[in-house]
Structure 1
Amino acid sequence: MDAFPEEAPFRNEIRTWLADHLVGEFAALRGLGGSGSEHEAYPERIAWNRHLAASGWTCLGWPEEYGGRGFGLTRQVVFHEEYARANAPARVNHLGEELLGPTLIARGTDAQKERFLPPIVAVDELWCQGYSEPDAGSDLANVRTRAHREGDDWVIDGQKIWTSLAQHADWCFAVVRTEPGSRRHAGLSYLLVPLRQPGVTIRPIRQLTGTSEFNEVFFTGARTRADLVVGEPGDGWRVAMATLSYERGVSTIGQQVGFARELAEIVAEARANGSVDDPWIADRIATSKLGLEVLRTHALRTLAGAPAPGADNVQKLLWARWHRELGELAMQVRGAPGLTVGAPYVPDRRQSMFLFARADTLYGGSDEIQRTIIAERVLGLPKEPRA
């Protein structure tokens, strides 16, 4: 039974629209894209996303005055569920639509909203997130990329790493150090930086999957206008934390529908090859099904009420560990054939899922960082010693 039965007409509207529009050139895009598979049909998926935008299916939760639909939580959840159930292609503008956009709406200037929000709604400009660095992964306060004022510009020097989809992005929202001699959280600023300029070099990082959705980004005298700082100079930590608070929103419900599809496919394979008769594998399958119900219940409960301290950190811990273990289960069901890849090296979809899921507990804030945040900020336990 679907959640939110009162939204049945809206749910049927979405189902009908997707059935009517995922046809023709778009039909072949079903199931493509997503974590570890962002290389799949990228130009075609941009065209699909722009088709969504033209029909009013982007930025659903944004206020109407900024080009959104002004939908509440329930309708956003219903949309993400139906989008995932239709096996529609992964969208390309998550970072702009669900992270930067809400940040600008809450903290940007009127000029910044006017300049940047319409192209996000229309999927005309794509964004990436410039947080992690070689010595500042989950420890964001250790940022060393620096910027200084030179006339009407910020001039930026430094390096970002593990930057998702930077090779396709037009802009980057980056946390940089703008106060010389500052340490930790102080002296950081949140800049909007154009990537298509001579001072920016982007190098894709080839992963175990053979794909390259992560990148190194080097800034060497790169420039952005002085008025493209979100919030006040030196207040970047606060703005960056606000952005992260949007990261685990209603789209996680759609993510879980995708997880359910992956689990169903693994169960079907286990039945086909007889491995489901192995008591250990049968137990792992049952545990995965229960875990998925826990994920959904926690997400809905968290989204429905006032934000509880640490709830998003718990959600990240839950889904990352669950999905990594699902990848392991997929290989155990496959058995020895899962260990081989032909030449040229192109892992199949299930192998790619297993390999990429090894990083689930690292990106977006490692498990260790999530537990530390919960311990220190929610439970009030003593802080870890820091150098």
Structure 2
Amino acid sequence: MKLGFSAEDEAFRAEAADWLQGQMAGEFRDIVGIPNLVSKVERRKEWERQLAAHQWSCIGWPVEWGGRDATLAQQVIFAEEYARAGAPNRINHIGVELAGPTILAFGTQEQKARYLPGIAGGTQIWCQGYSEPNAGSDLANVKTKAHLEGNEWVVTGQKVWTSLAHFSDYIFVVARSEEGSKGPKGLSFLLMAMDQPGIEVRPIRQMNGEAEFNETFLDAARCPADAMLGERGQGWGVAMALLGFERGVSTLAQQMQFRNELDAVIEAARANGKANDPVTRQKIARAEIGLNLMRYGALRMLSNADAAGLDGAALTYKIQWATWRRDLGELAMEVLGQAGEIAAGEAYEWSLLPNTFLFSRSDTIYGGTNQIQRNLIAERGLGLPREPRGNS
């Protein structure tokens, strides 16, 4: 496995870095380093359109659909330079990194033509309709139902933890389309417009004061019959493939965000004298080592030269970074001391490190809890006996 990049790749890095740094120092300097996903939404939508206009929005996609046919190495490079430049978290991450690749993999030509231009152009924001009150980590327990009525699917149910649903244009929904089916069988994968009478979105207020997550209620919401990805009743395979894209190149951009957060912890420790404490220095060193190990692990996971190790690396990566960032959040508050408990203004707008601490509490829950991840590692990775499941 090569851990370096070719001269051609480094030239691509220079091009990407130059453009990104120019944007963040110029027209879009007001959205540099925003530590959340719900501030300055309209400006961030403008940023999505700016990325698209210069063909930086979905560089790994085929040129035919608005991408650059970028190599894996180039996608990794852009993800790193994006975070290094202080560019804001992508509010259309779900569209670009999840919905789009899934439509490319499973969609018909008509579906690609219908949905991909809006994602690639930065004009259509997507959200994810997976989790339910009783189907979070146990996605196969989905209760939302869908039935055909003429030329439309009619969908009724509830989704929860729907990130950014309150300003999304589309949602992909996993729903039970076969009456009497159980578990992963009988599910279908539907693409639905959010702006319709049958969908209601209610924000879930988080402990950092924001409302990135939502409850989404579907009451006879509708979508065209041909808005289903894959075959009827075979949506589980599509849903699992999408989760595979979630463990893709974006992991490297995520790590650059972690790099920025760790650097902020180090800067704070130097500023208030905590860097002189040997115990604090040891904890910072441990965080630095952990971050480097994650980087090499992610490169290994993404490397075609190590295809035999992909499954194991993918299984362990989520619990690795979620636990690391949870610990980083605790270290940040330890370094800040009492100053980290005070937010500016009545709206409790937390700065980077307190926000990191508060949000990182959810890292070990969403996308599969740490407990579920350990089961996956044991059962799928190590081949151990399945954990006993009750009948309730």
* TM-score bin, normalised by smaller chain: over 0.9
Report how far residue 342 of structure 1 moved: 6.3
* TM-score normalized with structure 1 length: 0.96
Structure 2 CA distance for partners of 1:97 and 1:309, relative to 1, 3 Å: same
- For 2:46 and 2:240, how far apart are their aligned partners in 1? 32
- For 1:8 and 1:24, how far apart are their aligned partners in 2? 24
Report how far residue 291 of structure 1 moved: 0.2
Percent identity among equivalent residues?
50
Matched length: 383
2:164 is the counterpart of 1:165: yes
- For 1:85 and 1:322, how far apart are their aligned partners in 2? 20
Name 2:374's counterpart in structure 1: 371
Name 1:156's counterpart in structure 2: 155
Name 1:4's counterpart in structure 2: 5
Structure 2 CA distance for partners of 1:285 and 1:344, relative to 1, 3 Å: same
Structure 2 CA distance for partners of 1:341 and 1:93, relative to 1, 3 Å: closer
**Alignment deviations for residues 179-236 of structure 1 (CA, whole Å, 9 cap, x no partner):** 1111111111001111100000000111001000000000011111111111011001
Q: Contact 1:188–1:233 at 8 Å: present in 2 too? A: yes
* TM-score normalized with structure 2 length: 0.94
Question: Which 5+ residue runs of structure 2 have no aligned equivalent?
Answer: none
Letter in 2 for 1:372: N
Q: Contact 2:177–2:233 at 8 Å: present in 1 too? A: yes
Name 1:316's counterpart in structure 2: 318
Report how far residue 279 of structure 1 moved: 2.5
Task: Find the partner of 2:18 among 7, 16, 19.
Answer: 16
Name 1:51's counterpart in structure 2: 50
- For 2:24 and 2:347, how far apart are their aligned partners in 1? 31
Report how far residue 313 of structure 1 moved: 2.4
Please, what is the CA RMSD of the aligned residues? 1.5
Name 1:333's counterpart in structure 2: 335
Name 1:131's counterpart in structure 2: 130
Q: Contact 1:127–1:172 at 8 Å: present in 2 too? A: yes
- For 2:245 and 2:195, how far apart are their aligned partners in 1? 26
2:354 is the counterpart of 1:351: yes
- For 1:249 and 1:291, how far apart are their aligned partners in 2? 19
Task: Find the partner of 2:31 among 29, 36, 43.
Answer: 29
Superposition pairs for residues 1-387 of structure 1, below 5 Å? Answer: 3-6=4-7, 7-33=9-35, 37-305=36-304, 306=307, 308-341=310-343, 344-349=346-351, 350-386=353-389, 387=391
Q: Contact 1:310–1:373 at 8 Å: present in 2 too? A: no
Report how far residue 21 of structure 1 moved: 2.7
- For 2:379 and 2:245, how far apart are their aligned partners in 1? 21
Report how far residue 3 of structure 1 moved: 4.0
Residue aligned with 1:137, SS: coil
Letter in 1 for 2:233: G
Letter in 2 for 1:328: E
Q: Contact 2:24–2:86 at 8 Å: present in 1 too? A: no
Q: Contact 2:38–2:212 at 8 Å: present in 1 too? A: yes
- For 2:102 and 2:24, how far apart are their aligned partners in 1? 31
Q: Contact 1:230–1:239 at 8 Å: present in 2 too? A: yes
- For 2:102 and 2:38, how far apart are their aligned partners in 1? 27
- For 1:341 and 1:48, how far apart are their aligned partners in 2? 27
Q: Contact 1:38–1:213 at 8 Å: present in 2 too? A: yes
